[in-house]
Amino acid sequence: MSMCPPIANHPRQRSIQPGETMDITFQSQGEFAGEALFFFVFEKEPEKTPGLQTWLAAQGGWLSGNPAVDTFSGKAKSVRYFFPPSGTASPAAILVGLGGRKNFEPRELRRAVASAVGCAMDLRMTEFGLNGQALRDTGLDLPLAVEETTCAAMTSVYRFERLKTEKDEPPSQPPKLRILMDDQIDDQADARLKDRLDKSLATGHGLNLARDLVNMPANLATPEYLAQTARDLAARYGFGVEVMAADQIEALGMGAFAAVFQANRDQARLIILDSRPSVSGLAGQSASIDAEKPLVVIGKGITFDTGGISLKPSQSMEEMKGDMGGAAAVLGFFEAHGRLGQNDGNQRRIVGIIPCTENLPGPKAVKPGDVVTTCSGKTVEIINTDAEGRLLLCDALAYGKRYNPLGIVDLATLTGAMVVSLGPRIAGAFAAPQSLAEQVRRIGERVGEPCWPMPLWEDYKDELKSEVADLKNVGAREGGAIYAALFLQRFVPENTPWIHLDIAGPAFAKKKGDHGIAGGTGFGVRILVELVREWPEES
């Protein structure tokens, strides 16, 4: 996120405290009394920005003709700001570059908004506005521009500082962003814009919840902490919830999941969330034939991963607190889903399945060569205890069958091989049918959570054959992400559409970027919000 140039004697940057967000609403232009206005400028085109030129002409000349305006480069994420003369009843102007006009995409708008908000916060401003004309000037559909602006603004102010004892005094209230609209919008268009604003506010809250969960250290964000988060969501939004401990999980026959938690049974939890609990029973009960078929979303919840007996190297092991990024994304999605209520095409029933534990060594830990029986009845030889995520997920996938689902989506920080294949910012999408992977690729491109379709190649399945069990939990070293997905596919209920998102790279950012600070990104929340809306009804 680009910040403003340094200012002499500038106070330290303020921090947004946990639980805070931005206060974002629409406002008529005549009512705005904030400290700054944002203007977006394409590269080398300040004179071709109608919103900026109209505003300049109305300012009594204090900024018109200023060469610093005319020479503003407009390069992506560049920022230049102007304060009015003393005694002038005018807000400051913050110009933000969009880059080149050709092939302009929503992601460039998100970056520009993050730069603008970052600059205003650096200047210790508390209320700033964005003219609706500035959004139109981007050439994007206005409702889409409103949605992307809101999500970008909310995520750009995110900070995780709740564990610091030395920090700035928190602001007395969250910063305010006002999207300024003219009076020429008809009621129907106005309703569409408000719907988009509500949707993006809900999504932003979900994203930031997921980020909090990933950023929380593992001694605090335990499986029980995730379970309590689910209970809180259920109480707030009327979801059904059930949380099972080790004995109950074993009673379900989840031998693969149990193998991972046997070194620390107290930390095992299986979390079930149901957005429509009145439709059918929860965890221990199969859905009735007449029950509404849900979309099932599954998130891997390894709250800390040492690798178990197959111990990981110590370098960067502290980042393994983020191995529950899939679980965080599912909980963040339920936050967004709950805030949206039954509006905005949000009526579909969703069931979340979140298996949670730590993966630790110890005298009772699972060993390489052990064989376990999954709740599907299939047996698995555990070759590598650091390939534990798929052991949780295989039981969760098989368990999903009892809901007679429309489809299943699972998200997991599953393999380092996926990061080697696609780098740190792109998730791998494995799907059956393959068209689902292409659908998610399009969604991810639109919302800034990039995914790339990956193959489920039949010929590789032989590598998962075991001499002593039905299959083993790892294949060859090369193509490791594909073998992991092929392993999971063996447990997907028959004839059920399924997509597996390996988010090992983008769930955790090692340095600040489009999402703001380093750490958890909330990757997957926006994809789930959109995918739930687009998932087809049963044919």
Please report the pLDDT score of residue 4 as a whole number: 46
Helix (H) or strand (E) holding 523: none
DSSP 8-state assignment for residue 72: -
- Report the C-alpha gap between 486 and 461 in whole angstroms: 7
Residue 3 is predicted with a pLDDT of 41
Domains of the chain: 23-181 (3.40.220.10), 205-534 (3.40.630.10)
Task: Indicate which residues carry an active-site annotation.
Answer: 312, 390
Mean pLDDT, range 369-398, rounded to an integer:
99
Amino acid at 310: S
Q: Rounded to an integer, what distance in angstroms lies between the CA atom of residue 104 and that of residue 221?
A: 40
Residue 477 pLDDT greater than 70, yes or no: yes
Q: What is the mean pLDDT of residues 335-346?
A: 80
Please indicate whether residue 262 or residue 7 has the higher confidence score (pLDDT). 262
Q: What stretch of H or E contains 502?
A: strand 498-502
Per-residue pLDDT tens over the stretch 218-252:
999 999 999 999 999 999 999 999 999 999 999 99
Question: What is the pLDDT averaged over residues 491-512?
Answer: 96
> What torsion, rounded to 10 degrees, do the Cα atoms 66, 68, 73, 76 define?
-100
Task: At 385, list the tokens.
Answer: 């205890």
Q: In degrees to the nearest 10, what's the CA dihedral of 81, 87, 90, 96?
A: 0
Residue 511 has what pLDDT?
85
- pLDDT score recorded for residue 515: 67
What are the beta bridge partners of residue 269? 356
Neighbours of 43 (CB within 10 A): 17
pLDDT digits (tens, 9 = 90+) for 321-339: 999 999 999 999 999 999 9
User: Which residue type is seen at 148?
Assistant: E
Q: Does the bond joining 433 to the residue before it have cis omega, within 30 degrees of 0?
A: yes
pLDDT band for 342, please (50, 70, 90 cuts).
Answer: low
The mean pLDDT of the chain is 90
Predicted confidence band of residue 185 (pLDDT cuts 50, 70, 90):
low
Res. 132: pLDDT tops 80? yes
